[in-house]
């Protein structure tokens, strides 16, 4: 007999509490490790907690709509048989909340550093140690798009997640806005940090930048992971999204745009919108994004990239048929040897919508 606690997870550094939206299993259900267990809303996004153990769900200690602190006991699983008394004793003996012990160390696990890359001020998030993995966010995103991924990877890798030029806390100047310029800036960041031979993961526009980086600086990129990347054959590019972001004036405009990114519009939380709104308000941010949008729509950078896919290193592709932004790439047109994973439960943001699957796939590359 083993009694296992189900606790409120900590997704991302800012998470302090979560709201139970829905239990996806009922009392008495058998749960296998990896099963979807609970939909939990955080201030950033609604996500699904997957079981980290197997067993029978015997207790639900926090019902729908309840807000529980990170680490709080919210349910109990039993493997084998246990009496009600054993379970009660387990609950009674459990600390009310288990929070990762050393807050200081935990905070230090995502250090923000400013790097001067070719004269541009670039904000970089750094976590963990080991082989290097670089995470490049997409158009109008920032390094926080990878918050779940960083949590997943920091135990096994040195995670390097910059805010791309024009984004987040990095400088707003994007130069001519070409993929070559953006990739060159990323290369300068990696050179400054002494990184070589890294796994480079890129999402959306960041995926295209990752490919460009692999072509321009093969010494830096050992493997590629492309998460819903822009630029692949058969893909599209939603200008509905791009132009909405570039012209948005109010939070409600931004929310509508962000809802295009995800499969379930309800997963776009107020905090997620606020984060993007705050970034877009900074002087020069929308102008920079406008330039990047023009380059993307003009298309020559992406076309050049498509012509050279065969030169890329070993590549893992994560995509979704429900991606409303870049669409579903034509896998038949990809070079042989790419490892393709369809995460159709997600829209364009699998690293948030299907965080644990993306985390698992990326961990495999390290």
Residue numbers of the site for other proteins (CB under 8 A)? 67, 169, 172, 249-251, 270, 278, 281-283
CA–CA separation, 63 and 80 (whole Å): 25
- Work out the number of other CB atoms within 10 angstroms of the CB of residue 17: 17
Nearer Cβ to other proteins (2/114): 114
Of residues 84 and 283, the one with the C-beta less far from other proteins = 283
- Beta carbon of residue 277, minimum distance to other proteins (angstroms, whole number): 9
Minimum Å gap between C-beta 249 and other proteins is: 6
- Measured from the CB atom, the residue of 17 and 344 that comes closer to other proteins is 17
Taking the complex as a whole, the smallest distance from the CB of residue 172 to other proteins amounts, in Å, to 8
Please, which residue, 67 or 333, has the CB nearer to other proteins? 67
Work out how close the CB of 66 gets to other proteins at its nearest, in angstroms, rounded to a whole number. Answer: 10
Q: Edge-to-edge strand order for the sheet containing 67-69?
A: 46-50, 36-41, 17-23, 67-69
In the bound state with other proteins, the residue whose beta carbon lies nearer, of 279 and 358, is: 279
Q: How far is the CB of 131 from other proteins (least distance, A)?
A: 30
Nearest to 179 by CA among 304, 82, 357: 304
Give every strand in the sheet of 30-31, ordered side by side: 2-7, 73-79, 55-60, 30-31
DSSP letter (8 states) at residue 80: S
What are the residues whose beta carbons fall under 8 Å from the beta carbon of 180, sequence distance 6 or more? 212, 216, 301
Give the shortest CB-250-to-other proteins separation in angstroms.
Answer: 5
Smallest gap from residue 284 Cβ to other proteins (A) = 8
Q: 169 or 328, CB closer to other proteins?
A: 169
- Contacts of residue 5, defined as CB under 8 A and 6 or more positions apart, other chains included, come to 73, 75, 76, 77, 90, 94, 98
Taking the complex as a whole, how short is the minimal distance between the CB of residue 266 and other proteins, in angstroms?
12
Give CA–CA dist 135/181, Å, rounded: 17
Please list the alpha-helical segments (H only) found in 83-204. 84-93, 103-108, 147-153, 179-193
CA distance 336 to 9: 39
Closer CB to other proteins, residue 103 or residue 283? Answer: 283
Rounded to a whole number of angstroms, the distance between the first and last alpha carbons of the chain is: 35
Of residues 97 and 169, the one with the C-beta less far from other proteins: 169
Q: Which residues pair with 31 in a beta bridge?
A: 55
Compare residues 270 and 308 and give the one whose CB is closer to other proteins.
Answer: 270
Please identify, using beta-carbon distances, which residue of 282 and 309 lies nearer to other proteins.
282
Residue 319 CA from chain centroid, whole number: 13
CA distances from 103 to 44, 107, 112, 143 (A): 20, 6, 16, 21
| Cβ at position 337, least distance to other proteins in Å | 43
Sheet of strand 198-203, all strands in order from the earlier edge strand to the far edge: 111-117, 120-127, 158-162, 132-136, 198-203, 221-227, 315-319, 339-342
CB 53 to other proteins: min, Å: 31
Residue bearing tokens 């010494």: 219
Nearest to 24 by CA among 42, 44, 46, 1: 46
């Amino acid at each position: 007999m083993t009694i296992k606690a189900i606790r409120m997870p900590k997704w991302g550094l800012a998470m302090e509490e979560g709201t139970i939206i829905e239990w996806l299993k009922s009392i008495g259900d058998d749960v296998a490790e990896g099963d979807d267990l609970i939909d939990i809303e955080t201030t950033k996004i609604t996500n699904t907690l997957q079981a980290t153990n197997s067993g029978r769900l015997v207790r639900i200690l926090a019902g729908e709509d309840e807000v529980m602190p990170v680490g709080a006991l919210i349910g109990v699983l039993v493997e084998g048989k246990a009496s009600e008394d054993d379970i009660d004793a387990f609950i009674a003996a459990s600390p009310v909340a288990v929070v990762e012990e050393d807050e200081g160390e935990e905070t230090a696990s995502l250090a923000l550093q400013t790097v001067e890359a070719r004269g541009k001020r670039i904000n970089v998030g750094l976590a963990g140690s080991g082989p290097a993995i670089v995470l490049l966010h997409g158009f109008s995103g920032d390094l926080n798009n990878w918050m779940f991924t960083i949590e997943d990877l920091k135990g096994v890798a040195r995670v390097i997640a910059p805010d791309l030029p024009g984004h987040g806390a990095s400088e707003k100047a994007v130069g001519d806005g070409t993929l070559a310029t953006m990739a060159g800036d990323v290369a300068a960041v990696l050179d400054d940090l002494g990184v070589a031979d890294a796994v480079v993961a890129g999402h959306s526009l960041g995926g295209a930048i990752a490919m460009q980086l692999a072509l321009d600086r093969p010494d830096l990129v050992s493997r590629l992971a492309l998460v819903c990347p822009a630029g692949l054959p058969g893909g599209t590019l939603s200008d509905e999204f791009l132009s909405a972001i570039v012209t948005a004036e109010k939070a409600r405009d931004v929310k509508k745009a962000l809802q295009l990114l995800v499969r379930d519009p309800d997963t776009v939380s107020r905090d997620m919108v606020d984060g993007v709104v705050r970034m877009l308000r900074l002087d020069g941010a929308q102008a920079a994004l406008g330039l990047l949008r023009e380059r993307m729509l003009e298309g020559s950078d992406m076309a050049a990239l498509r012509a050279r896919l065969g030169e890329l290193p070993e590549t893992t592709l994560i995509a979704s048929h429900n991606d409303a932004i870049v669409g579903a790439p034509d896998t038949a047109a990809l070079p042989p040897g790419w490892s393709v994973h369809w995460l159709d439960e997600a829209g364009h943001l699998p690293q948030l919508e299907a965080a644990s699957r993306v985390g698992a796939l990326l961990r495999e590359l390290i």
